[in-house]
Structure 1
């Protein structure tokens, strides 16, 4: 669902830098995400993709530049306050609560907005991910990798976000499960208008899904364009789709 070039950005980054100690991880990143879009960021391991997503949430904190969400400057806000504004993240490696049940993990996600619509949202989540309904009483740590990824996304959705940040949702999953995950993301965007920022190494799936896309190299965005446009570019195909680095 592309909201069109004239739409005001829901999320806007200008000149954002971030460091790990003395090492610069992000180099003056400019990026906009408009309401209703799927925007993807691709790049090699260590390019800074996950750092960018974490910096949006304030950990690490941006050293320079500005991050605005829905018009509000969130550059210096605490992470829990950022979440309450309507951002939710499904992090790299899933990071579910392994000793808690599926149901309890979903309760944790709902707690961000006070949990006032828990029953309604739980029904919605179980319609999106029927497997989680079957596993509701099962500990998160005993789920398959694909089920854990579904749970991580579902937990983020329980907070009713305006913007969903997805970090490497295909990592370590079988191709069929990856296809299912990306179909869910596409459906949420088209049916509910959910805005999505996707960080992903699987360039083919990410670029096929995205309205707009960016390539990150060494902490800087080096290439931007429509998802399908980047998918067709020879340098992108050589680097990310044909066994390149």
Structure 2
């Protein structure tokens, strides 16, 4: 395990498969983000390699969601660079970033509550001009059978777990190569949490790269090939998921009282 922004080199054993060979897909270097004069991210360095699940854990207010939003250009990084698939995207507009095979399931789900499930999924598919709509609709309905039963139901009438499924399904409709997931287990019952994490694992097995922000440190680290810890806008630890699960500092701060 390494301190302050270094990444571990040993292959992870925390997930069901070995970590893929390191081919950078998302590279974040020296990123600083501000809200007015208040600095939220203090020079963040993170790598997400192709085919990996990389997780970012930290307490409330650490800056995790700010980093997710900064990747998408809102807020925009004031310093540093964000590179996706070899192209710098730091100054790109959010709608242009969304066309680069990056999709996000944001914190709080942010579905369109007055739209039906079907219409929400259409919004996700609009990113690639509905190129494979029927095929993708069938796929997300097979991943989340409950959504198929509720296609014509308004999103706002769904349960919390169903809304989270819809948020992920909407992101999948654009056929992303990189999926950003921000707190997918927040506020959900344990059974639904397990279902969501099973879906994340299966998507990765199918080849999708996933960057996961998650307060449920135990489940996230168990799933991850590699992981980072963020404290007040800075990366303080990094390593394989297995290494961080065993780290005394991590256990004391994020796992004490949790499921083991």
What does the per-residue CA deviation read over 1:15-44, in whole Å, with 9 as the maximum and x for residues that have no partner?
000000010000111111011000000000
Structure 1 Cα separation of the partners of residues 123 and 76 of structure 2: 24
Q: Which residue of 2 aligns with 1:3?
A: 20
Structure 1: 5+ residue stretches without partners: none
Matches within 5 A, 1:111-126: 111-126=126-141
Specify which structure has the bigger relative contact order, considering alpha-carbon pairs within 8 angstroms and separated by 6 or more residues.
Answer: 2
CA RMSD in angstroms, aligned pairs only: 0.9
State the shift of 1:8 in Å: 2.3
Equivalent of residue 80 in structure 1, options 89, 95, 115:
95
Structure 2 Cα separation of the partners of residues 45 and 206 of structure 1: 16
Structure 1 Cα separation of the partners of residues 53 and 130 of structure 2: 26
- Provide TM-score, normalisation by structure 2: 0.91
Equivalenced residue count is 241
Is 1:170 the counterpart of 2:182 in the alignment?
Answer: no
Cα gap change, 1:45 to 1:101, in 2 (>3 Å): same
Structure 2: 5+ residue stretches without partners: 1-16
Structure 2 Cα separation of the partners of residues 92 and 143 of structure 1: 17
Structure 2 Cα separation of the partners of residues 175 and 234 of structure 1: 25
Is 1:189 the counterpart of 2:204 in the alignment?
Answer: yes
State the shift of 1:228 in Å: 1.1
Structure 1 Cα separation of the partners of residues 94 and 191 of structure 2: 34
The DSSP-based 3-state class of the residue aligned with 2:130 is coil
The DSSP-based 3-state class of the residue aligned with 1:28 is strand
Equivalent of residue 237 in structure 1, options 247, 251, 257:
251
Q: Which residue of 2 aligns with 1:18?
A: 33
What does the per-residue CA deviation read over 1:135-177, in whole Å, with 9 as the maximum and x for residues that have no partner?
1110000000000000000000000001000000010000110
Structure 1 Cα separation of the partners of residues 190 and 71 of structure 2: 29
Equivalent of residue 135 in structure 1, options 125, 146, 150:
150
Structure 2 Cα separation of the partners of residues 27 and 99 of structure 1: 38
Structure 2 Cα separation of the partners of residues 160 and 177 of structure 1: 24
